[in-house]
Amino acid sequence: MPLIEVDDVHVNYGRLSALRGVSLNVEDGEIVCICGPNGAGKSTILKAIAGGVRPRLGAIRFAGVALMGKAPEAISRLGLSFVPEGRHVFSTLSVDENLRIGSYQRRDRTNINADRERMLELFPRLRERLKQPAGKLSGGEQQMLVICRALMTRPRIILVDEPSLGLAPQIIGRVYDILLDMRRRDNVTLLINEQSSERVMRVADRVYVLRNGVIRLCIRPADIADGRSLKSAYFGFDEPQETLQEGAQQ
């Protein structure tokens, strides 16, 4: 049984169709990336899984449990953590308080301090700023903080929306190093939205390409020979003109 199952999901924002029959799955322990151009619907998929958006049609399951209609906090308690785009820190609270918020729903209270210490070992820059308001951190430091806060929940899967957005290349590399380390050490499953197709080729077990609210391709990076199929799916090079016009009107 896949850890995450998204089956024929449709999402509308008013009259705008954001997702049009999207189906995907994520196996336990995998790194799955969703890539595609701006406005493709990538963030909407994660929000639908995490309970932030209610689909019009379709089904979503986490470890066999139906998620449709559940509140985000109920979904979080099942072991799913969502890191949204935009680095949503509690700006007036300290770095340390932001970290501890991630542990509030946990039942295993005995390991919280050990997990906090481990996060600070992974991100030593956060240790230097523990007492500072989180809103005073740089963009890269805030991204590190929200990832740490998500990991403090001890999730089975983390949904990460555009982790590299607006960050310097060296910070992006560090963020991905940490995510990959979490997968290796704790078997944390990752579903990541990423606009850069080159980056997902380096980290993903499988890649879904989304464009105009439709999955155009699902492929393993090892199966890509010259990258043409990925580029065609991403940009629609080989798509009939009437299909491109239809997508532009949605």
Whether 100 is in a domain gets the answer no
Is residue 36 within 8 Å of residue 81, measured between CB atoms? no
What pLDDT shows up at residue 54?
94
Q: Is beta strand 57-62 parallel, antiparallel or unpaired with respect to 4-13?
A: antiparallel
Whether 145 is in a domain gets the answer no
Q: What's the domain count of the chain?
A: 1
Whether 167 is in a domain gets the answer yes
147/130 Cα distance (integer angstroms): 15
Which residue, among 77, 75, 84, has the nearest Cα to 105 in the 3D structure? 77
Which residue, among 55, 42, 7, has the nearest Cα to 162 in the 3D structure? 42
49/8 Cα distance (integer angstroms): 13
User: What backbone torsions phi and psi does residue 238 show, to the nearest 5 degrees?
Assistant: -100, 10
N-term to C-term CA, the chain: 33
Q: Which domain holds residue 204?
A: 4-81+157-249
What pLDDT shows up at residue 164?
76
What pLDDT shows up at residue 95?
94
Tokens (6 digits) for 40: 């493709």
Residue type, 154: R
User: What backbone torsions phi and psi does residue 208 show, to the nearest 5 degrees?
Assistant: -105, 135
Whether 203 is in a domain gets the answer yes
**Residuewise pLDDT in 10s, the chain (250 residues):** 899 999 999 999 999 999 999 999 999 999 999 998 888 999 999 999 999 999 999 999 999 999 999 999 999 999 999 988 766 888 899 999 998 888 887 777 678 888 889 888 888 889 999 999 999 998 888 888 988 888 888 889 999 998 877 777 777 888 888 888 888 888 899 999 987 777 788 889 999 999 999 999 998 988 875 566 777 777 776 554 434 334 433 3
What pLDDT shows up at residue 243?
41
Tokens (6 digits) for 139: 């963009």
What pLDDT shows up at residue 228?
67
Tokens (6 digits) for 166: 């607006």
| CATH number of the domain where residue 169 is located | 3.40.50.300
Residue 204 CB: number of other CB atoms within 10 A?
21
For 176-219, give the secondary structure using H, E and C: HHHHHHHHHHHCCEEEEECCCHHHHHHHCCEEEEEECCEEEEEE
Is residue 192 within 8 Å of residue 163, measured between CB atoms? yes
Whether 76 is in a domain gets the answer yes
